[in-house]
Amino acid sequence: MKIAVLIAPAVHPVSGRPCAGEADLAALALAQRLSSQVDVWYAGAADDAALADYLARGATHIHTLALAAGREVLSPLAEALQDYALVLCGARAGGGDGSGLLPYQLAEQLGRALLPDVLDLSKSDQQWQALQALPKGVRRTLAAKLPLVASVHARAASAVGWSYARLQQGKIQRKAATGAALPQVVLEPARRARALVAASKVSGHARMQGAIAGGEGKSAGIVVKQGDSVEKAQVVLDYLRQHQLVDF
């Protein structure tokens, strides 16, 4: 079965250089585990060097829909991907907008079901089963029929290690494409974001009280020295229950 994997360069958080996105790599690795026919797709304005990491980490061939910067990639991608029964992409790209919207838009555009945050995919009978990652280690099993779009969790699978030889052998094939212009965004340097705070009419004394005693993480820890081990164990359990850290 042919699987399409969508990738996009991520922006390195420290240097700002293009690199591979974790979730996209996981999608690539998961696809390669599922099928030997994996087509890797990219749409956008990035140059070949920005995609190099994917070649070095196991994509032998990348189909690129070359678009000018600031163009929407959805319609050219949807057109290119409609013949694939299974389309995988990272849950979130680490670059571009990194909004995590593309899998949803793509599923909507292609009229397919979306399996979000997938950790694993497997075929059983006529259906495909997906293991969805939920917070705190909860796993949900979903089942659906093809065709599907799945957004892959960064921890789903690990791609092969970065290899210079694979980078040299990898190919990038470019095809010109067009998309509608996106609205310009205004970029600003990062700073501390200002939170919305409700105007308070509480007295100064009460606010002071709150600042001293209330608030999580502001106060120093409680130290328990008295009592035997059994009593101390009870203290810990009470603490865990009070903060809903255990469910018994």
37 counts as binding other proteins under rule CB under 8 A: no
Options 37, 165, 182, 204; binder of other proteins; rule CB under 8 A: 165
Tokens 């099993």 -> residue:
141
Contacts to other proteins from residues 2-31, by CB under 8 A: 10-17, 19
For other proteins, which stretch binds (CB under 8 A), given 26-34, 43-51, 62-70, 155-163? 155-163
Whole-angstrom distance, CA of residue 22 vs CA of residue 7: 10
- Closest distance of CB 119 from other proteins, Å: 10
- Closest distance of CB 175 from other proteins, Å: 26
244 counts as binding other proteins under rule CB under 8 A: yes
Contact 209, 218 (CB under 8 A): no
69 counts as binding other proteins under rule CB under 8 A: no
Chain centre distance of CA 227: 47
Pick 116 or 174: Cβ nearer other proteins: 116
202 counts as binding other proteins under rule CB under 8 A: yes
Phi-psi region of 149 (alpha: psi -120 to 50; beta: other; left: phi over 0): beta
Q: For 95, which DSSP code? A: S
- Closest distance of CB 12 from other proteins, Å: 4
| Count of residues touching other proteins (by CB under 8 A) | 103
180 counts as binding other proteins under rule CB under 8 A: no
Whole-angstrom distance, CA of residue 131 vs CA of residue 227: 46
The beta-carbon contacts of 66-69 under 8 Å, at least 24 apart in sequence, are 66/174, 66/175, 66/176, 66/177, 67/43, 67/177, 67/178, 67/179, 69/45
Pick 83 or 247: Cβ nearer other proteins: 247
Q: For 66, which DSSP code? A: E
x/- map, 108-147, other proteins, by CB under 8 A: x----xxxxx---------x-x--x-xxxxxxxxxxxx--
Whole-angstrom distance, CA of residue 172 vs CA of residue 189: 33
195 counts as binding other proteins under rule CB under 8 A: yes
For other proteins, which stretch binds (CB under 8 A), given 33-41, 75-83, 173-181, 224-232? 224-232
